[in-house]
Amino acid sequence: MTRPRAASKTFLADLPATLMVHLSPIFSPLIRIEQLSPQLDMGPKDSAVFSSANGVAAAPDGLGRAAYCIGPATTKAALARGWEATQAGQDADSLVAAMQTIRPDNTLLHLAGVHTRGNIAGRLSRAGMTIRHVALYDQVLGTLTDEATQIIASAPCVIVPLFSPRTAAQFAKLTPASETVHIIALSPTIAQELTPTHFASLTVAKRPNAQAMGDALSEAVTRNRL
């Protein structure tokens, strides 16, 4: 599991017990979240755009303000923090398309990390909306743990779910070519960071959400007879 530990544990906790009995999770986060302290001038009538739950966690409480979110997990997290949250897409492209239909006329803030994908603020700005990107945290790249390195080198089958392009690129950089490592990418954008022939297999989830990743993981377990 290459996500930050809390996010990895949340993903695993939602998997069926019948699947978990076939898995031995190894935690090796390749991204470390470091909170920043930007000047956040957000008025009572401003709205947020959230592309991940990390943005929600780093943001102030919503206090009933509107938020437009990518995916159900981010939307759920925003609702829990007091935002009037609406799921406006499954990825950056679908969010941008939805926002051009919704067309809020107030100021929008994309509350996210230093590194973002999809140029959400830039594309919505070009579409005539007032929006700015505010980096609330940094995503610092890490390395594989000794345990993960040993498992990759010796285990007969290793399944690696990858949830972000930067994590995928880092994993590919750190991992030698392998006939035992099976990759599951959350989206085609993530898969593009990987060379399929570098690994035993490369599968893309049917939808960019945790449920589809769980389904793909279950299929990988069945396929490899674990």
- Average of pLDDT values for 182-197? 94
- Average of pLDDT values for 137-150? 97
- Split at pLDDT 50, 70, 90, the class of 41 is confident
Q: Check: CB of residue 112 under 8 Å from CB of residue 132.
A: no
Phi, psi of 191 (to 5 degrees): -60, -30
**Torsion sign (Cα): 54, 59, 63, 68:** negative
What is the pLDDT at residue 117? 87
What is the pLDDT at residue 224? 87
Tell me the CATH number of domain 5-30+143-223, given options 3.90.550, 3.40.50, 3.30.70, 1.10.3470: 3.40.50
Both tokens assigned to 15: 């998997």
Computed over every residue of the chain, the mean pLDDT equals: 95
pTM: 0.86
For residues 22-48, one letter each, b for 16 or more C-beta atoms within 10 angstroms of the residue's C-beta and e for the rest, the string is: eeeebebbbbebeeeeeeeebeeeebb
CATH fold for the domain made of 33-139: Rossmann fold (3.40.50)
Residue 25 has pLDDT above 90, yes or no: yes
What is the pLDDT at residue 39? 87
- Average of pLDDT values for 69-73? 93
Q: Check: CB of residue 76 under 8 Å from CB of residue 83.
A: no
Start and end residues for every CATH 3.40.50.10090 domain found in the chain: 33-139
- Average of pLDDT values for 216-224? 93
CA 198 to the chain's CA centroid: 23
